[in-house]
Amino acid sequence: MIKHLFKLVWNRKRANILIVAEMFFSFLVLFAVVAFGLYYADSYRQPLGFSYENVWNIFVISRASDPQNVLTTKQMLYQALKDLNEVEAVAGAQTAVPYESNRSRRRHSHRGRSILVEVGRVTDDFKEVLGLKIIHGRWFEKADDALGWDPVIINQRFSREMFGSEDPLGKNIASAKAIREVRVVGVVSDFRKHGELSQSVNFLLERILFQKPSFDNFMIRVRPGAPATFEEKLMAQLQAIVQDWTFHIRPMSQMRASYLKLRLAPLITAGLIAAFLMMIVGLGLMGVLYQNVTQRTKEIGLRRANGATAEHIYKQILGELLVITTFGVAAGTLIIVQFPLLRWFAFISGKVYIISLAISVAMMYLLTVLCGLYPARLATKVHPAEALHYE
């Protein structure tokens, strides 16, 4: 039966090759949309590792030629923020402010294994401000000032990649040339700085000393229920300390909202366009099949006269369609499996990739069957007598 269907399709290969091409391209489009959709949905589901509610960021543009002056001013600002009633905790941060796009990366190595990791620099109160969760070891503490090595906190993903199932605590990950050792003191579940729509990456938090604050962001946790006017008051306080500097105060929930808006708008647009493309393909396919059926009246009539039931005809038309779809999908799959081999789109995990492939194959068959139903039913209506007296 199947062999026969292939033969039928093969006999009309000139006409069918174009339909196969159409299936092929639509399959690629469908896969791309499903894969990206799933990738973002999957990312969105993963825990962020921090909480953004009641957290505000203050970006500081300092203006002073003398570094000592910058230092004392920042210390004054820190103290002033701490003294405010509405503020629960204050931290300094550099390349560690969530939803901001800047990043700093470097290589760390352990026993000859070198891995690229994103680095954020924070002060000791950062954990309290952002509600980070230590799952192993400890957070930074005051006593770390006296250490002869640099303590760092890493996320679970980095720990797994660098140390496998080994305990990362106390291990030195400094590069071979470094003078000071860099030792892991704790592991956080995760810290997804780049927000809900990003995948988890290797992350490392480094300690900034308040004696030499090299950071441009103060992050504060505001007491829940602080009045809306607090922001203006805060700004006035900061400006009063140093008139020349510029401050940007932003609640993190606002930063998150604009981040989501900016990232989602192109995704939604692409999804809508793809949906319309699929609709066009579906309608076009229906037209083509309809046309084919009306032109094959003779052949179908002959089959009916020889005793084929309506169900047989139905099966033949849909069967041929499925064979054509299979050609298109197979060609598409052949292309799609090249991407992981070429390390393209490597950020999409294997699991998401395979599931997307399965879903898009299923959707492709569903689409073609839906488009084939009406023309196939039309074919069963062909009356043998009429068909045979065609000539």
Nearest to 172 by CA among 185, 156, 155, 184: 184
Interface with another protein, residue 359, by CB under 8 A: no
- CA torsion 30-35-38-42 (nearest 10°) is 180
Token output for 198:
């990003």
Q: Kindly tell me which of 101 and 306 has the beta carbon lying closer to another protein.
A: 101
Interface with another protein, residue 253, by CB under 8 A: no
Residue of the chain from 5, 9, 26, 322 that contacts another protein (CB under 8 A): 26
Nearest to 154 by CA among 114, 206, 86: 206
Interface with another protein, residue 25, by CB under 8 A: yes
Interface with another protein, residue 385, by CB under 8 A: no
DSSP strands (E only) in the chain: 55-61, 87-94, 105-110, 113-122, 134-137, 150-155, 182-188, 203-207, 217-222, 246-251
Looking at 34-42, 166-174, 207-215, 232-240, which segment touches another protein (CB under 8 A)?
232-240
Q: Kindly tell me which of 234 and 352 has the beta carbon lying closer to another protein.
A: 234
CB of 379 to another protein, least distance (A): 15
The answer to whether 151 and 185 have CB atoms below 8 angstroms apart is yes
Interface with another protein, residue 355, by CB under 8 A: no
Interface with another protein, residue 379, by CB under 8 A: no
The answer to whether 189 and 135 have CB atoms below 8 angstroms apart is yes
Strand partners, 150: 182
**In the block, residue with structure tokens 């441009």:** 216
Interface with another protein, residue 247, by CB under 8 A: yes
Looking at 111-119, 154-162, 245-253, 343-351, which segment touches another protein (CB under 8 A)?
245-253
Interface with another protein, residue 281, by CB under 8 A: yes
Token output for 366:
């569903």
Looking at 33-41, 151-159, 273-281, 347-355, which segment touches another protein (CB under 8 A)?
273-281
Interface with another protein, residue 273, by CB under 8 A: yes
Interface with another protein, residue 390, by CB under 8 A: yes
Looking at 80-88, 132-140, 286-294, 347-355, which segment touches another protein (CB under 8 A)?
286-294
d(CA 166, CA 150): 21
Q: What does DSSP say about strands 217-222 and 55-61: parallel, antiparallel, or unpaired?
A: antiparallel
Q: Kindly tell me which of 19 and 226 has the beta carbon lying closer to another protein.
A: 19
d(CA 81, CA 242): 13
Residues that bind another protein (CB under 8 A): 15, 18-19, 21-22, 25-26, 29, 59, 61, 63, 65, 228-229, 231-232, 235, 239, 243-249, 261, 265, 273, 276-277, 280-281, 283-288, 291-292, 295, 390
